[in-house]
Amino acid sequence: MTARIAPMDPPYAEEVKAALEKWMPPGSPMEPLRLFRTLERNHALADRLRGVGALFLGRHALTPPRLRELLILRTCARAGAEYEWGVHVTAFAAAVGLDDAAVRATAARSPGEARLDEGDDAMALRLADELHDDATVSPALWALLSARFGDEQLLEMIGVVGFYHLVSFTIQAAGVEREPWAARFPEARRSADATHRGSCLCGSIEYEVTGELGEFGYCHCTSCRKASGSAHAANAPIDRAAFRVVRGATCVREFESSPGKFRSFCARCGSPLYAYLAATKDVLRLRLGSLDTPFAGRAQAHTFVSDKAPWDAVEGDLPQFPGWAPKSVLEQRGSHQP
């Protein structure tokens, strides 16, 4: 995920520094979390949210920390906010007595798989699930909850689920990037939605894509020939939000091949992975040669054949165009196609 709203970066103005210090534990040597540095782009809002968060996590909270963390983890997992789920797992799970199985249950994909043993734990997960799915609580669950907890605590528990939806929405919509030290979703969950997987030649970088790849052609332009080291490139558009580097993010490098055009590749082996334009950076053009999973798509056209290598015999039935293909033949999202 790439940030849509950039977090504040040091050096901070005095008032920002003071605000960020309030978010972190006193005397913490850590850089303030990206979430806090993002929220502080709207200080008035951030200041009030911090108060609500402190109420839920502070010592006056009515909900025992273990239940609170189950509510938070399940809410963040259901909302897809791996950032916050991971921060809470790393910061709190062990301290509140959640073992690996309990943590994994919070990240199960469907409510049916999330069952913990009966009792308070299971009720907490169900509460988060029902509020997430239905924005209310079923009569059956309410009967269980109200037999166990008082009204004051129930309002707090509902508030925790609501608040962490707000946190999750902010993370997902603003594109807050993972903290490098935070736990990741279990592998099974991360990959369950993926429709395509790929990697670079040396294997340092692995990625996955959720959803379909867009239309593609064979581009014979000089840049694509050089960037691919071959007769042409085959690049399909995908939404950046659908793309995730699973492993080796630190190996991903970018080269600005012309103003505003970035090509990414593996720093170790040089495999091209994708390119994008700064002007349309939410669309990546994936290098299909890096795919490891089967892909049944067919090229729609040869483009920029006027640039083709003299040794390349462009044959076959696909239509050929000296420059861009018309959009009616091949729509190249995320490119300069006019």
Which residues of the chain form contacts with Zn ion (CB under 5 A)?
200, 202, 204, 219, 221, 224, 266, 268-269
Provide the minimum distance between the beta carbon of 226 and Zn ion in the complex, in angstroms, as a whole number.
10
Residue with smaller CB distance to Zn ion, 153 or 280 = 280
Provide the minimum distance between the beta carbon of 318 and Zn ion in the complex, in angstroms, as a whole number.
15
Residue 205 CA: distances (Å) to CA of 57, 200, 231, 242, 266: 37, 6, 24, 16, 7
Report how far residue 24's alpha carbon sits from residue 40's, in angstroms, rounded to the nearest whole number.
13
Residue with smaller CB distance to Zn ion, 115 or 226 = 226
Which residues, other chains included, contact 244 with Cβ-Cβ below 8 Å and sequence gap of 6+?
1, 190, 194, 207, 208, 209, 210
Provide the minimum distance between the beta carbon of 304 and Zn ion in the complex, in angstroms, as a whole number.
6
Report how far residue 51's alpha carbon sits from residue 261's, in angstroms, rounded to the nearest whole number.
43
Provide the minimum distance between the beta carbon of 223 and Zn ion in the complex, in angstroms, as a whole number.
5
Residue with tokens 């129930």: 154
Provide the minimum distance between the beta carbon of 212 and Zn ion in the complex, in angstroms, as a whole number.
22
Pair 218, 230: CB distance under 8 Å: no
Provide the minimum distance between the beta carbon of 251 and Zn ion in the complex, in angstroms, as a whole number.
6
Q: What DSSP string describes 234-287?
A: EEEEEEGGGEEEEE-GGGEEEEEEETTEEEEEETTT--EEEEEEGGGTTEEEEE
Provide the minimum distance between the beta carbon of 11 and Zn ion in the complex, in angstroms, as a whole number.
35
Identify which of 168, 102, 85, 175 has the alpha carbon closest to the alpha carbon of residue 132.
168
Residue with smaller CB distance to Zn ion, 102 or 273 = 273
Report how far residue 156's alpha carbon sits from residue 158's, in angstroms, rounded to the nearest whole number.
5
Report how far residue 117's alpha carbon sits from residue 162's, in angstroms, rounded to the nearest whole number.
24
Helix axes 120-134, 151-174, angle to 10 degrees: 50
| Helix or strand (DSSP H, E) at 148 | helix 139-148
Residue with tokens 């938070």: 72
Provide the minimum distance between the beta carbon of 324 and Zn ion in the complex, in angstroms, as a whole number.
10
